[in-house]
Structure 1
């Protein structure tokens, strides 16, 4: 009964599609216009990917810090390492560059050599005053020599902040407004104001200016993502169309397929706009993914149409069979693929949720477009010519299928041993996988801004901010000498860690105040003693200059202080060790009953987010396996068949994970997607094979060997075609400038190749070896869904006029 209902349902779908061609094409056109209109809501992300849920403790701590001190990633730095900078003309040009940048509305302040101020003691007023290092312009070489002596020898307060006294590298700090850091205005400032000013300076002086800082890096990185979307879509279309044409040798079929996937891409962008989602490094991958996943749908549909036309020459009957037979099977495989992506919706990461929603909806949309557009277009076209059907008799494809059959017949032990060796080797490789919490590892290694990051890491120990928030639990508790001494002890530990830059805090200002009190003697750059505290701090309290220098490092109540340092790009393991070292010192120095000290900052949040994603990887993959297992249980009504079907799909995932460990590809946000994506796609081959296997069993009166070989011959060609398209389609991502995208493309391609071989060799071998336990009428009860309907002609004897 269910079988008849299912067949009747798809017969009804076929009639509706073929009898309402103009209406359906009009609806598709209107839907495409609607989705195109939603493009106006698309926007590119201007923030780093927050991989943690909003209510995660790490996020709560970070947001608490932002509430007290505002956005901490608003610093852009310019650097020059060239002795010719210290000439009259070049140094004046460097200072003029800083003055020009101050004129832009997006900038709150610029601190350059010209802006450096010396604290001077005013005994009469009992306060500190600020005196500039450079009064106006540099007029002589003698002035430069004096300036260099003061900077590099006399004032340690500024060392490693605006210059490196060892290498004499100089930099300028540009603080942009905090309220534009995560808006399009940041991009406009970088490209329309900052970059032209730097280019003009370099042209006038022939000096090489290095530029970095999180706002700048994020802007250029986001632009690279935008640029790559078009590149990926173009390459995916080019590669898949070439492969498609190679298989079918038909410009007509190739054009139709490209038309369908292009509309699918338009719908994908429309879905992103309709849901008001940002285009992130993950959602940017979906449009080319839709091309790669949509082409196999086209292959199945067009291949079946041409096969039917060659078989009986009736175009109407052929198109109806395409919908009733391949439509049902393609729906099942697209649902399983979408399920693999949809598991990300169940994670608590907003980034992954959005990716899962858009990807799963887009996959179902491309299925619907293929099912509607391809049969309808072919109703308007003449019969395929003989040359368009020649690919159905390709000898080399037959040779490939014969090789698989020989392997399954005579080399099953070899297949099992090879699989076991790969499994053991992969498990060993898995133990070598490392987790990467790097903010910049996926960025283009060839991009100038990445080279500049490395430059500043070498000269100033990094650009990624790490913040330590000190809560003294009472107002004005920061300025107590005991608090300053505790902060100083913690800063001493930070100074001993080579991956961290010299910290900046209120402690630095108080030390500088003591040095100024003792007439700029560098040996007094230290915290005051308890005897000195009262009269030195009285000078500090009377001075507005100190507030101007470090007003961002103590809140308005005096209860909270921040210690800011910058971290190099390091691995997750090393970052965790550094965190443990700092926490150990914090617990030792700051009593819990009197202080609350927390470590935060973008680098730490991203690292914690990566670890969180690793946990979610296991959850999402387990959910994908469970969901697809339940789906297959409903289709096949056999627990044993579920186990048999999972083995050839899980093995490629294990092999890929082992490969990652061996070649040194870390687990990170980009590579985490590999497993769920690959599993959702590779299980499609299993569904096709098992569905055909069941049909062969029933046709061959439960003769197992004949049924296995029949299913292998019938499905092997289509599985090979689609696997080749998917392999080369995902390989498109390897031309990316982003390391993570390259790894994603290579790993998914490799996994799908392993999955094809596993489904064509290991799966039939298991069916043959376990034939008594698997293939019997009790185990293989009547399916809930007949994926590939039987070849029955009685319901297809429709009149052409009625159908069309």
Structure 2
């Protein structure tokens, strides 16, 4: 009954489409224009991707930190490592640059040699005051050398903050207005105003300015993503059109297919705008993905049309059969692909959820476009000429089909041995996979801003902020001598870890206060003794009321302090070791019953988010496998067929995971997508093959061997065509500057190639070897719906 309804539905659909061609084209154009108007709502991501759900404990701690101290990643740093900086003209120009930067409303303040303040004791009023380090213009090299010597040797408070004593590197820190850090205003300011000022400085002085800091890195990284969208779209169109033309040798067919996928890309951007989702490193991949996934739809539909024309030459009947016979098969395969992407929707990660929503909607969208546009456009054109049909009789296709048949017939034992060997090797490789939680690992390694990241790691031990928050649970408890000593002990431990920079906290300011109390003698840069403490801290408190010296280190109540350090780009296991070591010492130094201490910061947030995504990967992949299994059960009504159909699709995933382990590609947000995407696409081949196999079984009265080989020949070529398109289509991602995108493209391409071979060789071999247990009417019942109608192939 269901089967008859399905057949009737598609026949009616074909009539509706072909009888209302003008209306449907008008509706497609109108909807495309509507989505085009939504492009104005597209927004490129201005903030670092938060991979954790809003209510995750780590996220809640980070939000609490931001509430108390504001955005921690608001510093852009500039540095020069060149002795020529200390000439009068260059040094004064360097100071002028900091003044120019500080004049912009987007900048909160600038800390540089131009405006460094020296803490001085006022003996008469018994308080500290801040005196500018540089007073007036410096005209001679002697004056600059004096300032340099004083800064490098007598002001340890600024060590690793403004200068690196060993290399002579000097830097300026620009603190952006915290309200614009995660907005597009930040991007405009950095790419235009700031970049122009630095460029002018370099041209005038001949000095090389290194720039970094998370706002700058995020801006440049986002700009790279924007630049790559167009590159990917053009590359995907170019590669798929060349392959399509190679297969069909028809400019007309190629042009029609390109029009279909271009409209699909326009819909993809429109849906992003309509839903008001930000364009991230993941959603930026959707337009080229739509091209790659849409072309196989065009191949199936146009190939079927040309076969029908060759068979009987009746255009109307050919187009009606394209819709009624191929529409259902194409819908089923697109549904399985969409379900692979849709599994990301159930995750708690906003990043993955948005990717899953937009990708699955657009896959169904490209199916509708293919089904509507191709038959309608062909209905207005003349019949294909004989030269356009030659590709249906290519000799190399027969040679390929014969090769597959020989392998399945004569080398089944070899097929099983190779499969088992690959499985064993893959399992070994899987145990070697690492997880990467580095927010900068995927960034383009050859980009200038990435080289600058390495420079700052070398000179100042990193740019990724890590915050340690100490809640003393008592108002004004931070400045108690015992608590300052505890924080100093913790700071010493942080400083001993080579991957972390020297920490900055209220302790540094208190030490500087003592140095100032003793007339700036460097050896007194230390915490006050018990006898000194009361007097020095009274002076410091009195001064802080006037100069707000404490506001960057302590909250308004004096109860909560922050300790800021910066981390190098390290491997995830090392990052976890550092975190574990610090937490162990924190527990010893700050008893849990008296203090609340936690670590936070964007670097740790990204690490936790990546690990969280890995758990979601397992869940989403398991759900995808479950959905496909249910789909197979509905189609074939056989548990054994479900198992057999999953084997050739799971083996390629295991092989890919094994390869990742052996060649050192870690699990990270970008490569997490590989498995669900590849599984959702590769199972299409299985559906095509098994549907044709089931049909051949009923037609040949359950002659197993004949049915397997017939299905292999009929579907093998189409599977080869579409797999080649998908392989080269996903391969365009290897031109990316982002390591994660390169890994995604190459791994999905490799997985789909393995899946094609598994479906063309391993699956038929299993069917032949297990024919007695699966190929009978009791086990392999007829499906509820016909994917492929009796008497029709699906090339």
What is the TM-score with the length of structure 1 in the denominator? Answer: 0.98
Tell me what 2:275 maps to: 275
- Separation in 1 of the partners of 2:465 and 2:265? 38
Note the C-alpha offset of 1:325.
1.2
Q: Distance in 2 between matches of 1:780 and 1:313?
A: 36
Q: 1:43, 1:377 → 2: CA distance?
A: 34
Alignment of 1:215-614 (within 5 A): 215-544=215-544, 547-614=547-614
CA distance in 1, matches of 2:473, 2:792: 81
Structure 1, 246-255 or 550-559: larger mean CA deviation: 550-559
SS of the residue corresponding to residue 181 of structure 1 reads coil
How far 1:544 moved relative to its partner? Answer: 3.8
Deviation, 1:791, is 2.7
Task: Map Cα deviations across residues 202-242 of structure 1 (whole Å, 9 max, x no partner).
Answer: 00110000000000010110011011011100110010000
Aligned to 2:646: 646
Which residue is 2:19 aligned to? 19
Match in the other structure for 2:3: 3
- Alpha-carbon displacement from aligned partner over 1:405-426 (angstroms, at most 9, x marks no partner): 0000000001000111111111
CA RMSD of aligned residues (A): 1.0
Distance 1:760 1:268 in 2: 33
**Equivalent position of 1:114 in the other structure:** 114
Map of 1:75-90 to 2, 5 A cutoff? 75-90=75-90
Structure 1 residue 547 displacement after superposition: 4.4
For the pair 1:690 / 2:690, whether they are aligned, the reply is yes
Give a deviation string over 1:42-70, Cα, whole Å, max 9, x none: 10010111110010111000000001011
Report how far residue 137 of structure 1 moved: 1.3
Partners of 1:792 and 1:119 lie apart in 2 by 88
Please name the residue that 1:150 is paired with: 150
Deviation at 1:548, TM superposition (A): 4.1
Are the counterparts in 1 of residues 461 and 501 from structure 2 also a CA contact under 8 Å?
Answer: yes
1:91 shift after superposition: 0.5
Query: SS where residue 343 of structure 1 aligns?
Result: helix
Aligned counterparts of 2:324 and 2:103: Cα–Cα separation in 1: 68
Q: Is the 8 A contact 1:509 1:546 kept in 2?
A: no
Match of 2:727 in 1: 727
Deviation string, structure 1 residues 748-785 (Cα, Å, up to 9, x no partner): 00000000000000000000000001110001112012
- Compute the displacement of 1:2 (Å): 2.3
Listed as ranges, the matches of 1:43-122 within 5 Å are 43-122=43-122
Q: Following the alignment from structure 2 to structure 1, what is the Cα–Cα distance between the partners of residues 477 and 688?
A: 70
Question: Residues of 2 paired with 1:732 and 1:742: CA distance?
Answer: 9
Q: Distance in 1 between matches of 2:616 and 2:437?
A: 15
Q: Which runs of 5 or more residues in structure 2 are unaligned? A: none
Shift of 1:133: 1.5
- Which secondary structure state, in structure 2, belongs to the residue aligned with residue 178 of structure 1? coil
Q: Secondary structure at the match of 1:671?
A: coil
The separation in 1 between residues aligned to 2:122 and 2:323, in whole angstroms, is 90
Aligned length: 793
- The answer to whether the Cα contact below 8 Å between 1:120 and 1:128 also exists between their aligned partners in 2 is yes
- Summarize the Cα distance change of 1:792–1:329 in structure 2 as closer, same or farther, 3 Å threshold: closer
Instruction: For residues 430-479 of structure 1, give each alpha carbon's deviation from its aligned partner in whole angstroms, at most 9, with x where no partner exists.
Output: 11111100110111011100000000000000000000111111110111
* Separation of aligned partners in 1, 2:498 and 2:596: 26
- Judge conservation of contact 1:540–1:546 (CA < 8 Å) in 2: no
SS at match of 1:173: strand
1: CA distance between counterparts of 2:85 and 2:551? 30
Query: Following the alignment from structure 1 to structure 2, what is the Cα–Cα distance between the partners of residues 792 and 222?
Result: 49
Q: In the TM superposition, what are the counterparts of 1:663-742 in structure 2 within 5 Å?
A: 663-742=663-742
Contact 2:423/2:651 (<8 A) preserved: yes
Task: Tell me, in whole angstroms, the C-alpha distance in 2 between the residues paired with 1:213 and 1:396.
Answer: 57
Asked whether the 8 Å contact 1:128–1:545 carries over to 2, the reply is: no
Shift, 1:315, TM fit: 1.0
| Conservation of the 8 A alpha-carbon contact between 1:211 and 1:452 | yes
**Alpha-carbon offset, residue 541 of structure 1:** 1.5
C-alpha separation in 2, matches of 1:545 and 1:564: 23
Q: For residues 752-767 of structure 1, what are the structure 2 equivalents within 5 Å?
A: 752-767=752-767
* Displacement of 1:549: 4.2
Q: Secondary structure at the match of 1:115?
A: coil
Listed one character per residue, the Cα deviations across residues 680-724 of structure 1 (whole Å, up to 9, x for unaligned) are 000000000000000000011100000000000000000000000
What does residue 178 of structure 1 align with? 178
* Secondary structure class of the residue paired with 2:145: helix
Distance change >3 Å, CA 549–CA 205, structure 1 → 2: farther
Whether the 8 Å CA contact 2:325–2:792 is kept in 1: the answer is no
Determine whether 1:214 maps to 2:211: no
2:544·2:550 contact (CA, 8 Å) conserved in 1?
A: no
CA distance in 1, matches of 2:775, 2:547: 82
User: Do the aligned partners of 2:515 and 2:522 also contact (CA within 8 Å) in 1?
Assistant: yes
Show the counterpart of 1:787.
787
Counterpart contact for 1:422–1:655, Cα < 8 Å = yes
Q: Distance in 1 between matches of 2:695 and 2:316?
A: 25
SS of 1:119's equivalent in the other structure is: strand
The equivalent residue for 2:619 is 619
